[in-house]
Structure 1
Amino acid sequence: MTVQIARRLFTTTEYHQMLEARILTEDDRVELIEGEVVSMSPIGSRHAACVKRLNQLLFKRLGQLALISVQDPIHLGEHSEPEPDLALLQPRADFYGQAHPEAEDVILIIEVAESSAEYDRQVKIPLYAQHGIAEVWLVDLAAAVIEIYRRPSAAGYEQLQRRKRGQSLTLQAFPQLEMTVNEILG
Protein backbone atom coordinates (compact mmCIF):
# COMPACT_ATOMS: atom_id res chain seq x y z
CA MET A 1 0.00 0.00 0.00
CA THR A 2 1.32 3.42 -0.96
CA VAL A 3 0.85 6.23 1.51
CA GLN A 4 0.19 9.68 0.10
CA ILE A 5 1.66 12.52 2.10
CA ALA A 6 -0.11 15.84 1.77
CA ARG A 7 2.31 18.57 0.85
CA ARG A 8 1.85 22.15 1.85
CA LEU A 9 2.87 24.40 -1.03
CA PHE A 10 4.21 27.88 -0.39
CA THR A 11 3.15 30.98 -2.28
CA THR A 12 5.66 33.55 -3.44
CA THR A 13 4.28 35.90 -0.76
CA GLU A 14 4.98 33.31 1.96
CA TYR A 15 8.41 32.65 0.46
CA HIS A 16 9.26 36.36 0.73
CA GLN A 17 7.92 36.40 4.30
CA MET A 18 10.35 33.58 5.13
CA LEU A 19 13.16 35.80 3.83
CA GLU A 20 11.92 38.81 5.81
CA ALA A 21 11.64 36.69 8.99
CA ARG A 22 15.15 35.32 8.33
CA ILE A 23 13.90 31.74 8.18
CA LEU A 24 15.72 31.81 4.86
CA THR A 25 18.53 34.20 4.04
CA GLU A 26 19.86 35.51 0.75
CA ASP A 27 22.90 33.28 1.34
CA ASP A 28 20.72 30.16 1.19
CA ARG A 29 20.97 28.74 -2.33
CA VAL A 30 17.27 27.99 -2.74
CA GLU A 31 14.47 28.90 -5.11
CA LEU A 32 10.70 28.43 -5.07
CA ILE A 33 9.58 25.90 -7.69
CA GLU A 34 5.89 25.00 -7.90
CA GLY A 35 5.38 25.79 -4.22
CA GLU A 36 8.41 23.92 -2.90
CA VAL A 37 11.60 25.48 -1.58
CA VAL A 38 14.28 23.68 -3.60
CA SER A 39 18.04 23.67 -3.02
CA MET A 40 20.03 24.79 -6.03
CA SER A 41 23.12 22.97 -7.23
CA PRO A 42 26.45 24.44 -6.15
CA ILE A 43 28.14 26.62 -8.75
CA GLY A 44 31.41 25.12 -9.99
CA SER A 45 34.17 27.11 -11.67
CA ARG A 46 33.20 25.98 -15.22
CA HIS A 47 29.60 26.96 -14.57
CA ALA A 48 30.59 30.37 -13.17
CA ALA A 49 32.96 31.02 -16.09
CA CYS A 50 30.25 30.17 -18.62
CA VAL A 51 27.77 32.55 -16.95
CA LYS A 52 30.37 35.33 -16.98
CA ARG A 53 31.20 34.61 -20.62
CA LEU A 54 27.53 34.70 -21.64
CA ASN A 55 26.98 37.91 -19.68
CA GLN A 56 29.85 39.60 -21.49
CA LEU A 57 28.87 38.28 -24.93
CA LEU A 58 25.25 39.35 -24.54
CA PHE A 59 26.15 42.78 -23.20
CA LYS A 60 28.59 43.45 -26.04
CA ARG A 61 26.09 42.39 -28.69
CA LEU A 62 22.84 43.73 -27.26
CA GLY A 63 23.84 46.92 -25.49
CA GLN A 64 20.65 48.75 -24.47
CA LEU A 65 18.25 46.43 -26.34
CA ALA A 66 17.68 44.26 -23.25
CA LEU A 67 18.52 44.09 -19.56
CA ILE A 68 20.73 41.17 -18.56
CA SER A 69 19.71 39.59 -15.29
CA VAL A 70 22.22 37.21 -13.66
CA GLN A 71 20.92 34.65 -11.14
CA ASP A 72 18.00 36.90 -10.13
CA PRO A 73 14.41 35.80 -9.45
CA ILE A 74 11.70 35.66 -12.09
CA HIS A 75 8.15 35.70 -10.67
CA LEU A 76 6.11 32.94 -12.36
CA GLY A 77 2.63 32.86 -10.91
CA GLU A 78 1.62 32.30 -7.32
CA HIS A 79 3.94 29.37 -6.54
CA SER A 80 7.22 29.78 -8.45
CA GLU A 81 10.16 32.12 -8.37
CA PRO A 82 13.10 30.43 -10.11
CA GLU A 83 16.51 32.07 -10.35
CA PRO A 84 17.85 31.23 -13.82
CA ASP A 85 21.53 31.73 -14.52
CA LEU A 86 20.75 34.48 -17.02
CA ALA A 87 17.63 36.17 -18.30
CA LEU A 88 17.24 38.78 -20.99
CA LEU A 89 14.50 41.18 -19.97
CA GLN A 90 12.53 43.93 -21.61
CA PRO A 91 14.24 47.22 -20.67
CA ARG A 92 12.54 49.17 -17.90
CA ALA A 93 13.54 52.53 -16.46
CA ASP A 94 13.31 51.25 -12.88
CA PHE A 95 15.37 48.09 -13.65
CA TYR A 96 12.56 46.08 -11.99
CA GLY A 97 13.14 47.83 -8.67
CA GLN A 98 9.44 47.73 -7.74
CA ALA A 99 8.89 44.02 -8.41
CA HIS A 100 10.66 41.02 -9.88
CA PRO A 101 10.20 40.50 -13.62
CA GLU A 102 7.32 38.27 -14.70
CA ALA A 103 6.97 35.93 -17.67
CA GLU A 104 5.85 38.68 -20.07
CA ASP A 105 9.03 40.65 -19.28
CA VAL A 106 11.34 37.78 -20.29
CA ILE A 107 12.90 37.62 -23.75
CA LEU A 108 15.20 34.65 -23.07
CA ILE A 109 16.17 32.44 -20.13
CA ILE A 110 19.51 30.65 -20.07
CA GLU A 111 20.23 27.81 -17.66
CA VAL A 112 23.84 26.64 -17.42
CA ALA A 113 24.18 23.06 -16.18
CA GLU A 114 27.31 21.36 -15.00
CA SER A 115 25.49 18.64 -13.04
CA SER A 116 21.82 19.72 -13.15
CA ALA A 117 20.88 19.22 -16.82
CA GLU A 118 18.29 16.50 -16.15
CA TYR A 119 16.64 18.54 -13.39
CA ASP A 120 16.54 21.56 -15.69
CA ARG A 121 15.01 19.46 -18.52
CA GLN A 122 12.43 17.75 -16.32
CA VAL A 123 11.45 20.55 -13.92
CA LYS A 124 12.56 24.05 -14.82
CA ILE A 125 12.17 24.04 -18.61
CA PRO A 126 8.58 22.67 -18.46
CA LEU A 127 7.82 25.35 -15.84
CA TYR A 128 9.09 28.04 -18.20
CA ALA A 129 6.96 26.60 -21.03
CA GLN A 130 3.82 26.56 -18.86
CA HIS A 131 4.33 30.26 -18.18
CA GLY A 132 4.89 31.13 -21.84
CA ILE A 133 8.59 32.02 -21.78
CA ALA A 134 9.27 32.33 -25.53
CA GLU A 135 12.81 30.96 -25.58
CA VAL A 136 15.05 29.00 -23.20
CA TRP A 137 18.63 27.87 -23.72
CA LEU A 138 20.12 25.00 -21.72
CA VAL A 139 23.91 25.10 -21.82
CA ASP A 140 24.88 21.52 -20.97
CA LEU A 141 28.55 21.76 -20.04
CA ALA A 142 29.03 18.00 -19.59
CA ALA A 143 27.72 17.21 -23.09
CA ALA A 144 29.20 20.40 -24.63
CA VAL A 145 25.88 21.25 -26.31
CA ILE A 146 23.33 24.03 -26.17
CA GLU A 147 19.67 23.08 -26.33
CA ILE A 148 17.35 25.79 -27.68
CA TYR A 149 13.70 25.53 -26.64
CA ARG A 150 11.07 27.58 -28.51
CA ARG A 151 7.29 27.69 -29.05
CA PRO A 152 6.02 27.15 -25.50
CA SER A 153 2.76 25.37 -24.77
CA ALA A 154 1.10 23.91 -21.68
CA ALA A 155 2.62 20.53 -22.64
CA GLY A 156 6.18 21.88 -22.98
CA TYR A 157 8.21 23.38 -25.78
CA GLU A 158 7.20 22.34 -29.26
CA GLN A 159 10.58 23.08 -30.83
CA LEU A 160 13.96 21.81 -29.62
CA GLN A 161 17.23 22.42 -31.43
CA ARG A 162 20.66 21.21 -30.33
CA ARG A 163 23.86 23.01 -31.21
CA LYS A 164 27.36 21.65 -30.69
CA ARG A 165 30.87 23.04 -31.07
CA GLY A 166 31.46 24.54 -34.50
CA GLN A 167 27.82 25.61 -34.85
CA SER A 168 26.15 28.97 -34.28
CA LEU A 169 22.86 30.08 -32.80
CA THR A 170 20.68 33.18 -32.80
CA LEU A 171 18.09 34.62 -30.47
CA GLN A 172 14.52 34.43 -31.66
CA ALA A 173 13.87 38.04 -30.55
CA PHE A 174 17.13 39.35 -32.06
CA PRO A 175 17.89 37.21 -35.13
CA GLN A 176 20.71 39.57 -36.11
CA LEU A 177 22.59 38.50 -32.96
CA GLU A 178 24.66 35.43 -33.77
CA MET A 179 26.92 33.58 -31.34
CA THR A 180 28.87 30.39 -31.68
CA VAL A 181 28.76 27.46 -29.32
CA ASN A 182 32.54 27.75 -29.03
CA GLU A 183 32.22 31.34 -27.79
CA ILE A 184 29.72 30.27 -25.14
CA LEU A 185 31.49 27.12 -23.97
CA GLY A 186 34.96 28.68 -24.11
Structure 2
Amino acid sequence: MSIVSQTVATPPVALVLPALELPPVRNEEPTRKRWTRAEYYRLAEQGWFLNQRVELIDGEIVQLSPPSPPHSFSSDEIRDIFQSLFGDEYWVRMQLPLSHGEYSQPEPDVSVVRGSRKDFQKAHPKSAVLVVEVSRTSLDYDTQTKPQLYAAMGVPEYWVLDLVHRQLIVHRQPLRDESNFGAGYGSVIVLNEEDSVAPLEKPTASITVGAVLPSQE
Protein backbone atom coordinates (compact mmCIF):
# COMPACT_ATOMS: atom_id res chain seq x y z
CA MET A 1 0.00 0.00 0.00
CA SER A 2 1.45 3.29 -1.02
CA ILE A 3 1.09 6.37 1.14
CA VAL A 4 0.40 9.61 -0.66
CA SER A 5 1.14 12.77 1.24
CA GLN A 6 -1.37 15.55 0.91
CA THR A 7 -0.88 19.23 1.50
CA VAL A 8 -3.85 20.95 3.13
CA ALA A 9 -4.41 24.33 1.57
CA THR A 10 -4.52 27.17 4.05
CA PRO A 11 -7.45 29.50 3.40
CA PRO A 12 -6.36 32.97 2.39
CA VAL A 13 -6.37 35.56 5.13
CA ALA A 14 -8.59 38.51 4.32
CA LEU A 15 -6.77 41.81 4.36
CA VAL A 16 -8.62 44.20 6.62
CA LEU A 17 -7.57 47.79 6.41
CA PRO A 18 -7.57 49.67 9.70
CA ALA A 19 -10.19 52.34 10.13
CA LEU A 20 -7.44 54.86 10.74
CA GLU A 21 -3.72 55.10 11.16
CA LEU A 22 -3.07 55.24 14.90
CA PRO A 23 -0.46 57.76 16.05
CA PRO A 24 2.46 56.53 18.16
CA VAL A 25 1.79 56.26 21.89
CA ARG A 26 3.32 59.08 23.87
CA ASN A 27 3.39 59.83 27.57
CA GLU A 28 0.95 62.71 27.32
CA GLU A 29 -2.39 63.68 28.77
CA PRO A 30 -5.36 61.89 27.16
CA THR A 31 -6.82 63.67 24.16
CA ARG A 32 -9.98 63.23 22.14
CA LYS A 33 -9.76 61.69 18.70
CA ARG A 34 -11.23 63.94 16.01
CA TRP A 35 -12.45 61.87 13.09
CA THR A 36 -11.84 63.24 9.62
CA ARG A 37 -14.37 62.86 6.85
CA ALA A 38 -12.05 60.38 5.10
CA GLU A 39 -11.91 58.21 8.24
CA TYR A 40 -15.66 58.57 8.68
CA TYR A 41 -16.21 57.22 5.15
CA ARG A 42 -13.84 54.33 5.85
CA LEU A 43 -15.73 53.38 8.99
CA ALA A 44 -19.00 53.45 7.05
CA GLU A 45 -17.53 51.21 4.35
CA GLN A 46 -16.51 48.71 7.04
CA GLY A 47 -20.08 48.52 8.32
CA TRP A 48 -19.74 50.41 11.60
CA PHE A 49 -22.95 52.36 11.07
CA LEU A 50 -25.29 49.70 9.71
CA ASN A 51 -28.92 50.44 10.63
CA GLN A 52 -27.82 53.60 12.43
CA ARG A 53 -28.42 57.26 11.67
CA VAL A 54 -25.23 59.22 12.28
CA GLU A 55 -23.49 62.40 11.19
CA LEU A 56 -20.02 63.87 11.66
CA ILE A 57 -19.93 67.17 13.55
CA ASP A 58 -16.57 68.84 14.26
CA GLY A 59 -14.78 65.48 14.34
CA GLU A 60 -17.34 63.75 16.57
CA ILE A 61 -19.63 61.00 15.31
CA VAL A 62 -23.12 61.86 16.55
CA GLN A 63 -25.80 59.17 16.71
CA LEU A 64 -29.30 60.42 15.96
CA SER A 65 -32.65 58.99 16.97
CA PRO A 66 -34.74 57.25 14.30
CA PRO A 67 -37.38 59.61 12.90
CA SER A 68 -40.76 59.30 14.61
CA PRO A 69 -44.02 59.32 12.57
CA PRO A 70 -44.64 63.06 13.32
CA HIS A 71 -41.04 63.83 12.34
CA SER A 72 -41.42 61.91 9.08
CA PHE A 73 -44.73 63.61 8.31
CA SER A 74 -43.33 67.12 8.74
CA SER A 75 -40.15 66.36 6.80
CA ASP A 76 -42.15 65.03 3.86
CA GLU A 77 -44.56 67.97 3.96
CA ILE A 78 -41.67 70.43 3.87
CA ARG A 79 -40.03 68.58 1.00
CA ASP A 80 -43.24 68.57 -1.05
CA ILE A 81 -43.84 72.28 -0.47
CA PHE A 82 -40.23 73.14 -1.31
CA GLN A 83 -40.22 71.06 -4.49
CA SER A 84 -43.26 72.97 -5.73
CA LEU A 85 -41.90 76.30 -4.51
CA PHE A 86 -38.29 76.18 -5.73
CA GLY A 87 -38.72 74.37 -9.05
CA ASP A 88 -36.22 72.64 -11.31
CA GLU A 89 -33.36 75.06 -10.70
CA TYR A 90 -32.93 73.68 -7.18
CA TRP A 91 -32.40 70.27 -5.61
CA VAL A 92 -34.55 69.61 -2.53
CA ARG A 93 -32.68 66.97 -0.50
CA MET A 94 -33.87 64.70 2.33
CA GLN A 95 -31.36 63.64 5.03
CA LEU A 96 -28.40 63.87 2.65
CA PRO A 97 -24.91 65.12 3.53
CA LEU A 98 -23.45 68.58 3.28
CA SER A 99 -19.65 68.69 3.51
CA HIS A 100 -17.79 71.25 5.60
CA GLY A 101 -14.02 71.18 5.79
CA GLU A 102 -12.16 68.12 7.07
CA TYR A 103 -14.22 67.38 10.17
CA SER A 104 -17.94 67.95 9.55
CA GLN A 105 -20.62 66.32 7.44
CA PRO A 106 -24.11 67.09 8.75
CA GLU A 107 -27.19 65.44 7.24
CA PRO A 108 -30.06 67.91 7.72
CA ASP A 109 -33.64 66.72 7.43
CA VAL A 110 -34.24 68.99 4.43
CA SER A 111 -31.80 71.13 2.46
CA VAL A 112 -32.25 73.18 -0.69
CA VAL A 113 -29.27 73.47 -3.04
CA ARG A 114 -28.95 75.47 -6.25
CA GLY A 115 -28.60 73.18 -9.26
CA SER A 116 -29.70 69.63 -9.99
CA ARG A 117 -28.62 66.33 -8.45
CA LYS A 118 -26.53 65.68 -11.56
CA ASP A 119 -24.32 68.60 -10.56
CA PHE A 120 -23.25 66.73 -7.41
CA GLN A 121 -22.44 63.25 -8.68
CA LYS A 122 -18.82 63.40 -7.50
CA ALA A 123 -19.01 65.48 -4.33
CA HIS A 124 -21.56 66.52 -1.74
CA PRO A 125 -22.65 70.18 -1.70
CA LYS A 126 -20.68 72.40 0.64
CA SER A 127 -23.61 74.66 1.49
CA ALA A 128 -27.29 75.27 0.76
CA VAL A 129 -29.63 78.21 0.32
CA LEU A 130 -31.93 76.86 3.06
CA VAL A 131 -31.59 74.12 5.68
CA VAL A 132 -34.39 72.74 7.86
CA GLU A 133 -34.14 70.47 10.90
CA VAL A 134 -37.34 68.91 12.24
CA SER A 135 -36.81 68.70 15.97
CA ARG A 136 -38.41 66.89 18.87
CA THR A 137 -35.84 64.98 20.98
CA SER A 138 -32.87 66.93 19.54
CA LEU A 139 -34.12 70.45 20.17
CA ASP A 140 -31.11 71.65 22.22
CA TYR A 141 -28.69 70.21 19.67
CA ASP A 142 -30.56 71.76 16.73
CA THR A 143 -30.84 75.20 18.34
CA GLN A 144 -27.39 75.45 19.92
CA THR A 145 -24.80 73.46 17.97
CA LYS A 146 -26.32 73.33 14.50
CA PRO A 147 -26.79 77.13 14.05
CA GLN A 148 -23.07 77.66 14.63
CA LEU A 149 -22.14 75.00 12.08
CA TYR A 150 -24.61 76.08 9.38
CA ALA A 151 -23.60 79.73 9.79
CA ALA A 152 -19.95 78.72 9.38
CA MET A 153 -20.95 76.88 6.18
CA GLY A 154 -22.46 80.07 4.80
CA VAL A 155 -26.06 78.86 4.88
CA PRO A 156 -28.05 82.13 4.69
CA GLU A 157 -31.18 80.70 6.30
CA TYR A 158 -31.65 77.88 8.80
CA TRP A 159 -35.04 76.77 10.11
CA VAL A 160 -35.83 74.56 13.10
CA LEU A 161 -39.35 73.14 13.12
CA ASP A 162 -39.99 72.61 16.83
CA LEU A 163 -42.55 69.82 17.15
CA VAL A 164 -42.65 70.11 20.95
CA HIS A 165 -43.78 73.73 21.11
CA ARG A 166 -45.33 73.74 17.62
CA GLN A 167 -43.32 76.66 16.32
CA LEU A 168 -40.72 77.52 13.69
CA ILE A 169 -37.39 79.08 14.69
CA VAL A 170 -35.92 81.05 11.77
CA HIS A 171 -32.18 81.83 11.78
CA ARG A 172 -30.84 84.44 9.34
CA GLN A 173 -27.85 86.75 8.78
CA PRO A 174 -24.83 84.43 9.28
CA LEU A 175 -21.88 86.26 10.77
CA ARG A 176 -18.53 85.59 12.39
CA ASP A 177 -18.43 85.38 16.19
CA GLU A 178 -16.63 83.70 19.10
CA SER A 179 -18.60 80.43 19.08
CA ASN A 180 -17.01 76.98 18.69
CA PHE A 181 -17.40 77.13 14.91
CA GLY A 182 -16.53 80.82 14.70
CA ALA A 183 -19.94 81.81 13.37
CA GLY A 184 -23.59 82.29 14.30
CA TYR A 185 -26.77 84.01 13.15
CA GLY A 186 -27.51 87.64 13.81
CA SER A 187 -31.28 87.22 13.53
CA VAL A 188 -33.41 84.56 15.25
CA ILE A 189 -37.21 84.79 14.96
CA VAL A 190 -39.75 82.46 16.57
CA LEU A 191 -42.99 81.96 14.63
CA ASN A 192 -46.18 80.32 15.92
CA GLU A 193 -48.24 77.89 13.88
CA GLU A 194 -50.64 80.58 12.62
CA ASP A 195 -47.72 82.71 11.33
CA SER A 196 -46.33 82.62 7.80
CA VAL A 197 -42.79 82.89 6.45
CA ALA A 198 -41.22 83.43 3.03
CA PRO A 199 -37.79 81.89 2.27
CA LEU A 200 -35.14 84.47 1.48
CA GLU A 201 -34.50 82.72 -1.82
CA LYS A 202 -38.21 82.99 -2.75
CA PRO A 203 -39.43 86.19 -1.06
CA THR A 204 -42.77 86.29 -2.87
CA ALA A 205 -43.80 82.84 -1.57
CA SER A 206 -45.48 82.30 1.77
CA ILE A 207 -45.60 79.17 3.93
CA THR A 208 -47.87 78.84 6.95
CA VAL A 209 -46.11 77.17 9.87
CA GLY A 210 -49.16 75.11 10.78
CA ALA A 211 -49.24 73.58 7.28
CA VAL A 212 -46.10 71.52 8.02
CA LEU A 213 -46.95 70.55 11.61
CA PRO A 214 -48.55 67.16 12.37
CA SER A 215 -52.13 67.08 13.62
CA GLN A 216 -52.68 67.14 17.37
CA GLU A 217 -55.62 64.74 17.16
Which residue of the other structure, out of 7, 10, 15, is the alignment partner of 2:40?
15
RMSD, aligned α-carbons: 1.4
Give the match for residue 183 of structure 1.
211
Cα distance in structure 2, aligned partners of 1:153 and 1:102: 17
User: TM-score under structure 2 normalisation?
Assistant: 0.79
2:49 is equivalent to residue 24 of structure 1: yes
Asked if the contact 2:132/2:160 (under 8 Å) is kept, the reply is: yes
Within 5 Å, give how 1:3-152 maps onto structure 2. Answer: 5-25=30-50, 27-92=51-116, 94-103=118-127, 106-152=128-174
Asked if the contact 1:9/1:36 (under 8 Å) is kept, the reply is: yes
Cα distance in structure 1, aligned partners of 2:149 and 2:155: 9
Give the match for residue 175 of structure 2.
153
Asked if the contact 1:170/1:176 (under 8 Å) is kept, the reply is: yes
Aligned length: 180
Cα distance in structure 2, aligned partners of 1:89 and 1:38: 24
User: TM-score under structure 1 normalisation?
Assistant: 0.91
Gaps of 5+ in 2: 1-28, 178-183
What secondary structure, in the 3-state scheme, does the structure 2 residue paired with 1:16 have?
A: helix
Cα distance in structure 2, aligned partners of 1:68 and 1:54: 10
Task: Tell me which structure has the larger Cα radius of gyration.
Answer: 2
Gaps of 5+ in 1: none
Q: Which runs of 4+ in 1 moved over 4 A?
A: none
**CA separation of 1:44/1:73 partners in 2, compared to 1, >3 Å: closer, same or farther?**
same
**Cα shift at 1:95:** 4.4
Q: Which amino acid aligns with 1:171?
A: P
Q: What per-residue deviation string (whole Å, max 9, x for no partner) do you get for residues 101-123 of structure 1?
A: 112xx110000001111111111
Cα distance in structure 2, aligned partners of 1:51 and 1:45: 10
Once the two structures are aligned, what percentage of the paired residues are identical? 30
User: Using CA pairs below 8 Å that are at least 6 residues apart, which structure has the higher relative contact order?
Assistant: 1
Moved more, 89-98 or 34-43: 89-98
Asked if the contact 2:168/2:193 (under 8 Å) is kept, the reply is: no
